[in-house]
Structures are given as C-alpha cells and as structure tokens.
Amino acid sequence: MTKKILILCTGNSCRSQMAEGFFKHYRKDWNIHSAGISPKGLNPLAVKVMLERDIDISGQTSDSIEKYINEDFDYVITVCDKARESCPVFPNAKESIHWSFEDPADAYGSYEEKISRFREIRNQIEEKIIDFLKE
C-alpha cells in the first residue's frame, strides 16, 4: 500500500534529507518528501555519507514546510527536537511521529571528526527507518 510521508527538520539540510533518501531507497513505491522550518540547502557532507551507501540525494531539494502545509500525509515525522517544538500542526496528517537525532552539522573538530559524526547520525537514521518499515 502506497504511503505518503513528510519528514521535517529545522534546516532540511542533513537529517531530514538523509531520512528522505533512505525512505526512497527502501520504499520506491511510497511518496516521500522532506522540508524544513528554515531551509538551508543540502549539506555536502550529508550527500557524501549517503553516497557511501550508494544513495544519491544530491538531486533532492531543501523545501519550506509551507510547500506542504495543506497536503494530506499518512505520516509526518519530525527528526529534530527544534522542528517538533516549532512545527505547525498538520491537520491532514493521519499520524505524527517524532524521532530525535542530534544535528551532525553541529559537529566540531577536524574534517574526519565531522564526517564521522555524519556517519553516526546516518546510521542511526537508517536503523530507525528499517525498524519503522518492519512495523
């Protein structure tokens, strides 16, 4: 059965983009979108770590939640605490879910330390999506 999912984050640059990529990878028949409260564009490190899994998210867009506010969704999933707190209500969503992931873009240190943090968050997101799809 086809599902329609919206994944929300603050900047729609890392976590929601990676989640969108994984959902599209595992469920090609579903209608998957992501958006942000204040879209910032795709983070190049998110693109890089997803390519390590053979998932190319470089063509995805960083959209505002305003684009989707009046659409119907089976699930609206927030992937950061800030988005959950400031997200408007989606009255046409059948179910709202919150998954809390740290923002890998906040990582400090060397390039290797930053990319390592992106990989950790990517792996957490993939694990959560796989569990969700098993339900």
**What residues act catalytically?**
9, 80, 87
* DSSP letter for each residue of 56-113: --TT----BGGGTTTS-EEEEEE-SHHHHHHPPP-TTEEEEEE-----GGG--SSHHH
Kind plus residue range of the DSSP H or E element containing 8:
strand 4-9
